[in-house]
Amino acid sequence: MTADTFREILRRTPFEPFRVVLSSDESYNILHPEMAFVTAKALILALPDSSASEGERLAFCSYLHVAHVETLRPQTERRAS
């Protein structure tokens, strides 16, 4: 993966939520393009975290350790019967 690849993914219209899977099997869901910041060597993610004082935490994902990216399918609404 490269910075250009992530720039392309984040600029898609309409935006498609996606999951970043690392070589360590850690994964992060990106539900909005403003959750990710592209740098030359890493993708920096702002992730919700209710235990953090600001309500979020940062994850630094080196492109060398990104195993793959998956598009997240929209959740379908379930009706109570």
Q: Is residue 15 part of a domain?
A: yes
46 contact partners, CB below 8 Å, separation of at least 6: 34, 35, 36, 37, 56, 57, 58
Q: How many domains does the chain have?
A: 1
CATH number for 17: 2.30.30
Can you give the residue range of the structural domain that contains 12?
3-71
pTM for the complete prediction?
0.81
Q: Is residue 79 part of a domain?
A: no
Q: Is residue 56 part of a domain?
A: yes
Q: Is residue 20 part of a domain?
A: yes
pLDDT tens, position by position, 18-60: 999 999 999 999 999 999 999 999 999 999 988 878 888 999 9
Q: Is residue 80 part of a domain?
A: no
Q: Is residue 52 part of a domain?
A: yes
In this prediction, residues 52-69 reach a mean pLDDT of 93
